[in-house]
Amino acid sequence: MPSALPLRTDYSATDLRVLAKRTKDNNQSRRLLSLAAVLDGMSRTDAARIGGMDRQTLRDWVHRFNQQGPDGLHDIHAGGVAARLSSERLAELAAIVEAGPDRDKDGVVRWRRIDLKRVVKERFGVEFCERYIGTILKRLGFSHMSVRPLHPKQNGEIVEAFKKTSRLR
Write down the pLDDT at residue 1.
46
In this prediction, residue 153 has a pLDDT band, given cuts at 50, 70 and 90, of confident
| 106 band by pLDDT with thresholds 50, 70 and 90 | confident
**Closest C-alpha among 120, 145, 142 to residue 130:** 120
Euclidean distance between CA atoms 25 and 75, whole angstroms: 9
C-alpha distances out from residue 115 to 41, 92, 129, 132, Å: 68, 16, 11, 13
Q: Are 130 and 117 in contact (CB under 8 A)?
A: yes
Which residues, in sequence order, are CB contacts of 72 under 8 Å at separation 6+? 64, 65
On whether residue 36 sits in a domain, the answer given is: yes
Domain of 108, in residue numbers: 87-139
Q: Domain total for the chain?
A: 2
Share of the chain above pLDDT 90, in %: 69
Same domain, 65 and 109: no
pLDDT at 2: 61
- DSSP reduced 3-state for 131: helix
Per-residue pLDDT reduced to its tens digit, 90-99: 999 999 999 9
From the list 21, 16, 117, the residue with the least C-alpha distance to 72 is 16
Residue 120 lies in a domain: yes
Q: How confident is the model at residue 28 (pLDDT cuts 50, 70, 90)?
A: very high
Q: Give pLDDT, residue 169.
A: 64
**What does the pLDDT look like over 36-84, one tens digit per residue?**
999 999 999 999 999 999 999 999 999 999 999 999 999 988 888 888 9
46 inside domain = yes
More confident residue, 152 or 47: 47
Q: Is residue 117 part of a domain?
A: yes
Which pTM was predicted?
0.51
Same-domain check for residues 54 and 96 = no
